[in-house]
Every structure is written in C-alpha cells, then in structure tokens.
C-alpha cells in the first residue's frame, strides 16, 4: 500500500499543482446562459479548480508522509510572514461578521450576481493559501505565462467590440471598470515577465512581456475608466520618487544624479501637464482623447459623482454605533449585506441622480467598513501596509520588480476607492500577494 501511494505521489502532485495553475484561465470564461454571463461561469470554474485542488491536497496529506512534512515546514515558514497573519485575522473577522450579519443566507452564500459571501471568499483565500504552499519559482512563472496568454483572448474580444462601435469595451469581464482594472494588473505582470526575460536571456519571455505591456496599456484606454486612470496618474509620481530613492540599485550603470534628475524632470513634466489639463479641463480638445475625454467632462455636480457621494454618506451612517450598536459597528453587516444597510439608511436625494439599487458603495474602504466593520477595515489596511513593506524589502534584491509592484499597489488601491473587487481582480491580487510572499520567504528556491 505504501509503495503504491509513494508511486502515485508525484503524478498526483502534478495534477494538484496544474489544477491550481489553471485558475489563471478564469478571465476568459463567459456564458450567456447564466444569470450574470461575465461572472457566474468564472466563479464556477474557479471553484471547480479549487475543489479539485482541495481533494488532492487532502489526499496527499493523508497518503504521503513526505508531503505532510513538506507542507508542515512550508506552513511554519509562511506563518512567520506578517501578510499571512493579517490575512488570517481578516478572515476571522469575516467569520464573526457572518455570524452577526443582517442576512445570514446572503452573508454565507453571497448574492447570485456576485457569488461571494463567506463561502466565495473562502475559495479565494484557499487559492492564496494553496499558492504560497505549493508554488515554487517555476510555478509562479507558469502562472504568469498562463495569465498573459489569457490576456490575448480577452483583448481580442475587446477589439471585436470596438469594431462593432462600442466605445468603452468590457470584453468578457462584463464592465469597462473591471476590464480597465484587468489591463492595469496585466500591464504590471507583463513588465515583470519582461524583466524575467532580460535576466534569463529569454527572447520569448521578453517578447511576450512587451506584447502584454502594450495590450495592457490599450486595455486601460479601451476601458476608459476614470478611477483606474486616476490611480495610474497618482501611481506614476510615487513610482518616480521610489526610482529616485533606489537609483543605484535600479540603474547601476547610470550615475545616481542622472537618474534623479531624470525622475525629477519626468515628475515636473507630469505636474505641468496635470496643471495644463485642469486649467483647460472643459476644452473641446480633450474630448477627442480616449481616457481623458470622460475626465474632462466630469464635475462635482455630475450625476455619477453625486450618486457616489450620497452612497458614501449612506455607508458612513450605516456603521455609526449610535445608530446600529457597537457590534454592528465593529464587525459590520456581513459580506454582501451592503444592500440592507443601503435600504436602512437610504437618502432620498440619491434618487435624483441614480434610481438604481446599490449593492456596493463603490469604495473599497467603505465596502470593508460596512460589511466587516471597523475591525475589518483596520485589518484590510494592515494587509496593504505589510504588502508594501514586503515589496520595499524585496527591492533590495529585485529593485525593478519592486518598482512595478509599488506602482501597481498604489494604482490598484486608488482605483478601488471608486470601485470594488470581482472574481478576476480577487484572483490576480491574491496571486500578487502570494508571489511577493514567496519571493521574500524562499530566496534561493528554484
């Protein structure tokens, strides 16, 4: 029996790892026959992959002593990382908020359109945990390869939509916002692959990386989403400051003063352009430039802005301990229960700008505050703090990749102040969190 198990261990593990790697293909799935064509099939596919991973993982734990020993050692190492501890605290708060939720059914299973809830987030969390336990450097490279290959399919659909006269494309992601966020993340992942290709002298990786960067930038403009573009605009000067500080590590063959002068020049040029843009904000010229056209037409008084402000006000009122009690204030209404908070503290002025119902406040921080309470928001902010800290630490070894991840973290965090996560953004962000953990924990691992 033991010999049979030992013989089966290696191929079973390969299937296990590939089931996890294939989650990278999720963004390309779309099914008209489902309630939410761009969402439901992706969630179903991800859960199917992770269900297979869980079954095989438990089997190997039971059948292979070597596997148990390896997982025990890796778990001990992973637990030392602050990101793991904060993630565990955040998930524990999610569990408590589910117990005290307004609607337990939705808090556990989620809304049909989003399919999140405690169960859905447990799948995403399991992806993160399995990835940091099972992926080695080779698997992380493969995951990036599969993700960028999928991007080509997603981008092709958006080009078809463009040819059909759709000015803001969403491809198979269901919303231009989701598509633009996807483009932002894939642009950064492509740049990381390009750096890998340069380091390993791989023309294929460099070519694929450069192609992915171009596609990612195109997706930003095809999605034409103000929040994502704002995130990029804010992230660029932060990245320039980081590049100036880490000049010697980033550009060892160039004088530090030259790098800093270049960064200062680019920073100044960006500031000058921003000043010119806002000084002539409503000029007709800007309406003909994709990406800037919608920003130039934005005002504090427009319907979208006012509806967001009203929704944010509702969110803040719904967590006030004087109105809802200390338990609700600390642990929130439960995941996917924002709709009930929105109903309870609805402000009639919102109807003047948007008659639709809101299941999210379109602000990730308020999302966490309402659904997971003050403690959930603190844990969420701590997660980003330790991620950025890990990236900066990683920059001592890989300054180029660290620069890209600094840019991504700022841009992604800022755009999420006007949006919320979806199945695709959950997987990609968890993957990048897991990737930086692997890179800082297993320095010499191949």
DSSP string, 354-383: --S--SS-S-HHHHHHHHHHHHHHHHHHHH
Q: Residue range 23-37: average pLDDT?
A: 92
For residues 410-434, give the mean pLDDT. Answer: 94
Can you tell me the mean pLDDT for 50-78?
A: 95
Mean pLDDT of 144-165: 95
- Structural domain count of the chain: 1
Q: Is 299 helix (H, G, I), strand (E, B) or coil?
A: coil
313 belongs to a structural domain: no
What is the percent of the chain with per-residue pLDDT over 90, rounded to a whole number?
70
Question: Does residue 95 lie within any of the structural domains?
Answer: yes
159/155 Cα distance (integer angstroms)? 6
pLDDT of residue 3: 46
- Among 29, 25, 24, 18, which residue's Cα sits nearest to residue 52? 18
What is the DSSP secondary-structure string of 305-359? Answer: HHHHHHHHHHHHHTT-HHHH-HHHHHH-S-TT-HHHHHHHT--GGGGGT--S--S
SS (H, E, C) 169-237: CCCCCCCHHHHHHHHHHHHHHHHHHHHHHHHCCCHHHHHHHHHHHHHHHHHHHHHCCHHHHHHHHHHHH
pLDDT in tens, 182-228: 999 999 999 999 999 999 999 999 999 999 999 999 999 999 898 99
Mean pLDDT for 252-279 is 81
- For residue 62, pLDDT over 50 is answered with yes
Domain containing residue 173: 80-301+359-441
By the 8 A CB rule, do 391 and 341 touch?
A: no
pTM as predicted = 0.92
Question: Considering the domain boundaries, does residue 139 fall inside one?
Answer: yes
268/171: higher pLDDT: 171
Q: How far apart are CA 141 and CA 46, in angstroms?
A: 20
Distance between CA atoms of 86 and 388, rounded to whole angstroms?
A: 13
Q: What is the mean pLDDT of residues 40-63?
A: 96
In a domain, 282, yes or no: yes
Neighbours of 440 (CB within 10 A): 16
Residue 309 included in any domain: no
Percent of the chain with pLDDT over 70: 94
pLDDT over threshold 70, residue 139: yes
In a domain, 292, yes or no: yes
Burial class (CB in 10 A: 0-12, 13-18, 19+), 63: middle
Residue 60 lies in a domain: no
Picking from 12-21, 256-265, 368-377, 427-436, which range would have the lowest pLDDT averaged per residue?
256-265
Residue 66 is assigned to a structural domain of this protein: no
pLDDT computed for residue 2 by the predictor: 47
pLDDT at 9 over 60: no
């Amino acid at each position: 029996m033991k010999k049979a198990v030992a013989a089966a261990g290696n191929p079973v593990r390969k299937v296990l790892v590939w089931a996890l790697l294939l989650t990278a293909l999720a963004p390309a799935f779309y099914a008209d026959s489902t309630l939410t064509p761009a969402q439901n099939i992706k969630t179903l596919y991800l859960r199917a992959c992770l269900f297979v991973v869980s079954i095989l993982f438990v089997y190997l734990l039971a059948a292979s002593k070597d596997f148990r020993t390896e997982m025990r050692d890796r778990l001990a190492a992973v637990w030392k990382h602050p990101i793991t501890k904060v993630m565990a605290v955040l998930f524990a708060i999610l569990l408590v908020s589910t117990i005290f939720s307004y609607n337990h059914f939705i808090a556990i299973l989620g809304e049909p359109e989003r399919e999140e809830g405690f169960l859905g987030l447990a799948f995403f969390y399991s992806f993160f945990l399995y990835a940091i336990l099972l992926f080695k450097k080779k698997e992380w490279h493969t995951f990036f390869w599969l993700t960028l290959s999928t991007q080509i399919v997603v981008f092709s659909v958006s080009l078809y939509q463009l040819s059909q006269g759709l000015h803001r494309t969403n491809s198979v992601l269901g919303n231009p916002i989701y598509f633009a966020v996807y483009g932002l993340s894939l642009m950064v992942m492509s740049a990381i692959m390009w750096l890998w290709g340069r380091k390993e002298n791989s023309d294929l990786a460099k070519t694929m990386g450069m192609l992915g960067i171009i596609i990612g930038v195109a997706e930003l403009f095809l999605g034409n989403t103000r929040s994502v573009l704002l995130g990029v605009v804010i992230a660029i000067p932060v990245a320039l400051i980081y590049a100036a500080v880490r000049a010697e590590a980033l550009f060892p063959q160039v004088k530090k003063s030259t790098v800093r002068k270049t960064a200062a020049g680019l920073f100044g040029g960006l500031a000058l352009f921003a000043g010119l843009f806002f000084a002539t904000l409503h000029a007709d010229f800007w309406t003909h430039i994709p990406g800037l056209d919608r920003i130039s037409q934005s005002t504090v008084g427009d319907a979208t802005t006012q509806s967001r402000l009203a929704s944010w006000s509702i969110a803040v009122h719904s967590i006030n301990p004087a109105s809802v009690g200390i338990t609700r204030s600390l642990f929130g209404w439960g995941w996917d229960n924002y709709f009930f908070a929105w109903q309870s503290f609805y402000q009639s002025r919102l109807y003047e700008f948007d008659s639709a119902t809101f299941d999210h406040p379109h602000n990730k921080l308020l999302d966490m505050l309402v659904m997971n309470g003050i403690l959930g928001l603190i844990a969420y902010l701590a997660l980003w703090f330790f991620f950025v800290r890990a990236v900066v630490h990683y920059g001592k070894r890989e300054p180029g990749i660290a620069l890209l991840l600094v840019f991504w973290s700022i841009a992604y965090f800022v755009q999420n102040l006007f949006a919320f996560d979806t199945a695709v953004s959950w997987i990609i962000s968890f993957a990048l969190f897991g990737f930086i953990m692997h890179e800082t924990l297993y320095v010499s691992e191949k």
